[in-house]
Amino acid sequence: MRWLDRLGLAVATLWLALGAANADTTVKWLHIEANPAQVKIWEEVARSYEAAHPGTRIEMQFLENEAYKAKLPTILQSKDRPNIIYSWAGGVLKSQIEAGVLEDITDQIKGYSDSLTPAALAAFSRDGRIYGLPTALSQVGFLYNKELMAKAKVDAAGIKTWDDLLAAVKTLKAAGVTPIVAGGADKWPLHFYWTHLAVRIGGKAAFDAALRGENGGFAGETFQKSGELFKQLVDLQPFQNGFLGFKNPQAVGYFGDGKAAMTLAISTVYHLQRALAADKKGLAEDQIGWFDFPMVPGGKGEPSDTLGGITGWLVTKGSPKETVDFLKFFVSKDVQTRLAAGNFIIPVVKGADAGLNNAFMKQIAANLSKSRYHQNFYDQSLGPSVGRVVNDVTAEIAGGSMAPKDAAEAIEAAWKQGN
Amino acid sequence: MSDIDTIRPPFDPAVLYKTLFLAVVAVLVLVPLLATVLGGFKSLGELRINPFGLPQHWEWSNYADILFSQRYWQLLRNSLIISALTVTLTLITASMAAFTFAHVTFYGSSMLLSYLTLGLLFPAATAVLPLFIKVRDLGLLDTYFGVALPQVAFSLAMSVLLLRRFFKDLPPELLEAALMDGCSYINFFRYVTLPLSRPILATVGTITFVHSWNAYLLPLVMLNSDALYPWPLGVMVYQGEYSSEWHLILAFITLTILPTIILFIFAQKHIVAGLTAGAVKG
Amino acid sequence: MRRRADSLAPLTAVQPQPAWPAALRGLLADNRLAVLVLFLPPALLLFTLFVVLPIGEAAWYSGFNWNGFGRPTNWIGFDNYRFVLQTRAFWLALRNNGLIIVVSLLIQLPLALALALMLAERFRGAVALRMLFFLPYILAEIATGLIFSFVYDGDYGLVASIWRLFGAETPHLLASTDTAMLAVLIVIVWKYFGFHMMLFIAALQGMDRSLIEAARVDGATRAQLLRHVVIPWLYPTIRLSVFFAIVGSLQLFDLVMPLTRGGPADSSNTLVSFLYNNGISRMRVGYGSAVGVILFVICVSFAFTYQRWFLRDE
């Protein structure tokens, strides 16, 4: 059995070779950014940090958004986990803090934290301790293709109410234009409709009441009505053919290819569509318009209320101290101004919004600063498992397999189950 | 049954139907595969208008870019490491256990064998969450062994049964004579049983290898850093990244299944025998 | 063979056990103890650690509401099972597993059998065809799934371009709750029929030719031959093939992920993909373990029943 011995030897050698560690400090940074133009800037920042700090290596790792969310719970359990992870704050962050997998960075960023927008920083704090650094804000609303809207003679600026939107969809369909593109396979792009309707119908009060379990919780009237209004839209078949099979990047690319008139999306899609369009050029800036999510007559929400994200970076437990140092370097006025100038983000560092040089981004920044109720994405703010149920049921409404009432009740049931 | 055909009249419509039927099935099997291979040679635009035919313009760069990328080779390397670990460990542990069950009678032998046979009854997926917790607690998360060891454990049942049957079928006179000459059981195992059992070892090795090479769920749950990803995870990530750029995805798929197909062509008899015999005798 | 193995018995200690030290000495003398001590534990340890214990732990964890961090503390009894049974998607997944079994039995098995009967004969190309039909089986499920997600793709796929030939609007088979599972079922048949065919061919090749000769002398027609000689000969293999089809359905996962990830709206989940989507990717260890236990109970009770009723001779 000499071959067995030889094989054993080979395996052992291999093992040793793999185990050979390198002596430098490596900061592993896991991100989900699909826009190569933005990643390029990040990389430049990382390289310049390395140049200034010999012996420290910044290693960037990428996971696609959906894969990231599915994988994160297991990633965090690995002892080899990345040091910097992406976060949308909210309930998911809360459960990560409770699980004790995050580093409390309050003391390490003392002084520096004053440079950040307080509301954004608050999203990454709990009980006065800070667990991450915010990096960007975003708003959810309708992006539209000016050319297609004009072709169907729809006045986008005139879409103020939900009924206006339904009418616009009908007109677009009649003109042979695909009204809306949505990445239904990922589910969360659909949950924007249901959530934003709830923001419009019930306002902040309804959400807070539901969290306390009042008024029937998430099975209450506000949330049932959100489902019903969403159903009205779904019944018009406004989405592209096969929308339930489209992942979000495909849907964004579809919009960038000019194949659909509208998309309900995060404001960053304004730029992302270029990278994901088939020709890598997408729609020119002057071809895209924006209108806020329409109002619902009789709704308690304010027109200035917004739905969107506060995104940032978390530091995982046991990371080298260089991690926070790099993050401070990364979320600095200088870098944020640069990213704002590229119109990639609405910055969170005070004064960095001076870098915004594009009318669209300026408008979003103005919306967000005007907003007194900025609702974080439900699928994040309600925690990892309830949030996923919100996504599940909105996809079911969109697929016609679940009634709005049942959907609301399913969310409430999940909320009561907890976790 | 060819005998039956010889007594039939020469112009038999049944033969025609049969040929037609076989041809249809063959086409249905072949077309998706060929379209995949050829699709990798097309541009995205051509793929859309001409998904079936030969490329009008051969885009060798789709394949070349992947072949010259570190990513592709890293995936294959990882798969090879995991599969080799799994096969090696399975063969060693299973043949030792099978040898004991075949040649040493001891109290509880049949009970222990039935205990191992339990493993045939349910798939790894049933207990994948506790398995994940276990691998985490052992500190094996994100290591090759974190994937290989559970794979070995789940392939043991079938392997031990196959090997034990083969060992028992070896001429018993061999063991008698060896023991008479003062040869120990262990030496007998190393110098007689194993060399004589090459065919069954190859069969068990093949089954284990193919399963491990193709496995998705366990690596998906146990591995986090893409530096360790085996190819099934890698090709899924690739597809996620290039979402609609099917020409690149098809080229990538083709290249990742290429090793399997090459192996199949060169060792087809072995693989077929291994996979079906394993099934029948299990 | 059995009998021959039994002749080994006198060699291997079945003698009445003497007192311990003497027995120890006796065992060491012919190394039997060494074999027991060295050869069995690795396999038993691995098997216990990674197969048996996790199943037991699944039963234990399924009583907790636990997100996997630290140790489980929040005991909720059987609530997780209640939650699972209340989840609509779970029943859909169960239904889909049933569908897979039905399709395997009604379409895949007859197809495999028919092909086996044709290809068991010797003619030019028979071996090549066998190999071709077996090829899908050795391709990884992931690769097969990806290939077919291309085949079904509404924009670039093969199906779409066939539709376009007829001027119809291209379907997105994987994106509709009505057709996604159907599309998955087709892929399942495509992938696995060759394996079952090979099982049948192997059995046919072991068939006793004199049986056919005898029947032919008696003037049996081809159909009669098939019904009264060939098929009965294949019964054990058919039962085995059914067994594999059912077990395969219960663990199907890899194929579903690249095709639909269980969607849209959970319409094409199998039990395992449901377990992944709702347990693992949300790290609901308790809930996922409950699903695992249910799956385990289904598998084991099926295996035992089947073995008792149908595989007695095996």
CB contact under 8 A, C54 and B99: no
Structure tokens at A216: 């029937």
Question: C-chain residues within 8 Å CB-CB of A417?
Answer: 65, 79, 83
For an interface test with A, which of C281, C285, C289 has the most A Cβ atoms less than 10 Å from its Cβ? C281
Q: Which long-range contacts (CB under 8 A, 24 or more apart) does A273-278 make?
A: A273/A143, A275/A34, A275/A35, A275/A36, A275/A37, A276/A34, A276/A249, A276/A250, A276/A252, A276/B243, A277/A253, A278/A253, A278/B44, A278/B244
CB contact under 8 A, C265 and A417: no
pLDDT of amino acid C28: 55
What does pTM read for this prediction? Answer: 0.85
Could you give the CA distance from residue A407 to residue A223 in angstroms, rounded to a whole number? Answer: 9
Sheet containing A346-347: order of strands: A56-62, A25-31, A84-87, A310-315, A132-137, A346-347
B222 near B34, Cβ under 8 Å?
no
CB contact under 8 A, C172 and A392: no
Phi, psi of A239 (to 5 degrees): -90, 165
In this complex, is the C-beta atom of A190 within 8 Å of any C-beta atom belonging to chain C?
A: no
Nearest to B244 among A14, A71, A253 (CB): A253
* Mean pLDDT score, A277-285: 88
- Residue that has been written with the tokens 């006198």 in this structure: C10
Peptide bond just before C136 cis, omega within 30 deg? no
Helices C231-250 and B268-281: crossing angle in degrees, nearest 10, is: 90
Contacting B residues, span 183-222, partner chain A, CB-CB under 8 Å: 190-191, 194-195, 221
CB contact under 8 A, B139 and A79: yes
pLDDT of amino acid B279: 55
**What amino acid is encoded at B77 in this protein?**
R
Residues ≥6 apart with Cβ < 8 Å to B149: B89, B135, B140, C46, C50
If you ran DSSP here, which 8-state letter would residue C16 be given?
Answer: P
**What amino acid is encoded at B73 in this protein?**
W
CATH number for the domain whose boundaries are A140-307+377-418? 3.40.190.10
In this complex, is the C-beta atom of B261 within 8 Å of any C-beta atom belonging to chain C?
A: yes
Could you give the CA distance from residue A35 to residue B45 in angstroms, rounded to a whole number? Answer: 23
Could you give the CA distance from residue C6 to residue A153 in angstroms, rounded to a whole number? Answer: 90
In this complex, is the C-beta atom of B88 within 8 Å of any C-beta atom belonging to chain A?
A: yes
- The model's pLDDT over B8-24, given as tens digits with 9 standing for 90+, comes to 555 678 888 899 999 99
Distance of CA A342 to the CA centre of its chain: 19
Helices A36-52 and A333-341: crossing angle in degrees, nearest 10, is: 160
Nearest to C264 among A71, A245, A402 (CB): A245
**Which CATH architecture best describes the domain A25-137+310-366?**
3-Layer(aba) Sandwich (3.40)
- The model's pLDDT over A88-132, given as tens digits with 9 standing for 90+, comes to 998 889 888 988 889 999 999 888 888 888 888 888 998 889 999
pLDDT of amino acid B281: 44
Identify the closest residue of chain A to B146 by CA–CA distance. A78
What ipTM was reported for this prediction? 0.90
A73 pLDDT band, cuts 50/70/90, is confident
Question: C-chain residues within 8 Å CB-CB of B92?
Answer: 42
Structure tokens at A33: 């950014």
Say yes or no to pLDDT of A362 above 70: yes
C275 closest CA partner among C258, C259, C256 = C256
CB contact under 8 A, C176 and A71: no
CB contact under 8 A, C267 and A401: yes
C135 near B29, Cβ under 8 Å?
yes
Phi, psi of C121 (to 5 degrees): -75, 155
**What amino acid is encoded at B12 in this protein?**
D
**What amino acid is encoded at A121 in this protein?**
L
In this complex, is the C-beta atom of C155 within 8 Å of any C-beta atom belonging to chain B?
A: yes
CB contact under 8 A, B244 and A250: yes
A316 pLDDT band, cuts 50/70/90, is very high
pLDDT of amino acid C179: 92
- The model's pLDDT over A123-171, given as tens digits with 9 standing for 90+, comes to 899 888 999 999 888 999 999 999 999 999 999 999 999 999 999 999 9
- The model's pLDDT over B92-147, given as tens digits with 9 standing for 90+, comes to 999 999 999 998 888 889 899 999 988 888 888 888 999 999 998 898 988 999 99
In this complex, is the C-beta atom of A185 within 8 Å of any C-beta atom belonging to chain C?
A: yes
Residues ≥6 apart with Cβ < 8 Å to B31: B52, C158
pLDDT of amino acid C25: 56
CA distance A271 to chain C (A): 24
User: How many Cα neighbours within 13 Å face the side chain of A39?
Assistant: 15
CA distance C175 to chain A (A): 4
In this complex, is the C-beta atom of A99 within 8 Å of any C-beta atom belonging to chain C?
A: yes
For chain C, which chains pass the contact test of at least 3 CB pairs under 8 Å? A, B
- The model's pLDDT over A3-53, given as tens digits with 9 standing for 90+, comes to 555 555 555 555 544 444 444 789 999 999 888 888 999 999 999 999 999
CA distance A250 to chain B (A): 6
Helices C141-151 and C158-165: crossing angle in degrees, nearest 10, is: 20
User: What kind of fold does domain B70-276 have according to CATH?
Assistant: MetI-like fold (1.10.3720)
B224 near A78, Cβ under 8 Å?
yes
CA distance B264 to chain A (A): 23
CB contact under 8 A, A7 and B224: no
CB contact under 8 A, B136 and A80: no
Which 3 state secondary structure label does DSSP give C76?
coil
- Burial (CB < 10 A; 0-12, 13-18, 19+), residue A117, is buried
**What amino acid is encoded at C306 in this protein?**
Y
C121: how many CB neighbours lie within 10 A of its CB? Answer: 14
Question: B-chain residues within 8 Å CB-CB of C153?
Answer: 246
Structure tokens at C8: 């080994």
For chain A, domain boundaries: 25-137+310-366, 140-307+377-418
Helix (H) or strand (E) holding B126: none
A165 closest CA partner among A238, A75, A246 = A238
A252 closest CA partner among A231, A218, A297, A282 = A282
Q: Which domains does chain C have, with CATH numbers?
A: 88-141+179-309 (1.10.3720.10)
Phi, psi of A170 (to 5 degrees): -60, -45
- The model's pLDDT over A237-269, given as tens digits with 9 standing for 90+, comes to 999 988 998 889 889 999 999 999 999 999 989
CA distance C82 to chain A (A): 11
pLDDT of amino acid A37: 86
Contacting C residues, span 213-252, partner chain B, CB-CB under 8 Å: 213, 216, 222, 225, 230, 237, 240, 244, 247, 250-251
**Contact residues, chain A to chain B, C-beta under 8 Å:** 1, 4, 7-8, 11, 14, 18, 61-64, 66-67, 71, 74-75, 77-81, 247, 249-250, 253, 276, 278
Could you give the CA distance from residue B24 to residue B17 in angstroms, rounded to a whole number? Answer: 10
Helix (H) or strand (E) holding C298: helix C285-309
Tell whether the torsion through CA atoms of B258, B261, B267 and B272 is positive or negative.
positive
For chains B and C, count residue pairs whose Cβ atoms are closer than 8 Å.
314
Structure tokens at A317: 């437990």
pLDDT of amino acid A5: 56
In this complex, is the C-beta atom of C126 within 8 Å of any C-beta atom belonging to chain B?
A: no
CA distance B131 to chain C (A): 5
Residues ≥6 apart with Cβ < 8 Å to A385: A414, A417, A419, C282, C284
C242 near C156, Cβ under 8 Å?
no
pLDDT of amino acid A168: 96
CB contact under 8 A, C292 and B130: yes
Nearest to B225 among A8, A80, A249 (CB): A80
Structure tokens at B186: 């262990």
C181 near C259, Cβ under 8 Å?
no
Say yes or no to pLDDT of B278 above 80: no
A363 near A343, Cβ under 8 Å?
no
Question: A-chain residues within 8 Å CB-CB of C86?
Answer: 413
Contacting A residues, span 372-401, partner chain C, CB-CB under 8 Å: 384-385, 388, 392, 395-396, 398-401
For chains A and C, count residue pairs whose Cβ atoms are closer than 8 Å.
92
CB contact under 8 A, C299 and B126: yes
Helix (H) or strand (E) holding B224: none
For an interface test with C, which of B38, B105, B120, B126 has the most C Cβ atoms less than 10 Å from its Cβ? B126
Say yes or no to pLDDT of A280 above 90: no
Which 3 state secondary structure label does DSSP give C275?
helix
Contacting B residues, span 58-87, partner chain C, CB-CB under 8 Å: none
Q: What residue ranges of chain C have pLDDT lower than 50?
A: 1-19, 313-314
Same fold, A25-137+310-366 and A140-307+377-418: yes
Residues ≥6 apart with Cβ < 8 Å to C40: B96, B97, B100, B112
In this complex, is the C-beta atom of B137 within 8 Å of any C-beta atom belonging to chain A?
A: no
Report chain A's mean pLDDT, rounded to a whole number.
88
Contacting B residues, span 121-160, partner chain C, CB-CB under 8 Å: 121-134, 149-150, 152-154, 156-157, 160
B117 near B161, Cβ under 8 Å?
yes
Residue A67 Cα distances to A280, A387, B78, B239, C186, angstroms: 23, 16, 20, 11, 26
E strand map for chain C: none
- Burial (CB < 10 A; 0-12, 13-18, 19+), residue C226, is middle
Tell whether the torsion through CA atoms of C161, C165, C167 and C168 is positive or negative.
negative
Distance of CA C150 to the CA centre of its chain: 25
Identify the closest residue of chain C to A67 by CA–CA distance. C281
SS (H, E, C) chain A: CHHHHHHHHHHHHHHHHHHCCCCCEEEEEEECCCCHHHHHHHHHHHHHHHHHCCCEEEEEEECCHHHHHHHHHHHCCCCCCCCEEEECCHHHHHHHHHHCCECCCCHHHCCHHHHECHHHHHHCEECCEECEEEEEECCEEEEEEHHHHHHCCCCHHHCCEHHHHHHHHHHHHHCCCCCECCCHHHCHHHHHHHHHHHHHHHHHHHHHHHHCCCCCHHHCHHHHHHHHHHHHHHHCCCECCCHHHCCHHHHHHHHHCCCCCEEEEECCHHHHHHHHCCCCCCCCHHHEEEECCCECCCCCCCCCCEEECEEEEEEECCCCCHHHHHHHHHCCHHHHHHHHHCCCCEECECCHHHHCCCHHHHHHHHHHHHCCCEEECHHHHCCHHHHHHHHHHHHHHHHCCCCHHHHHHHHHHHHHHCC
Nearest to B105 among C14, C199, C300 (CB): C14
A177 near A188, Cβ under 8 Å?
no
B230 pLDDT band, cuts 50/70/90, is very high
If you ran DSSP here, which 8-state letter would residue B125 be given?
Answer: G
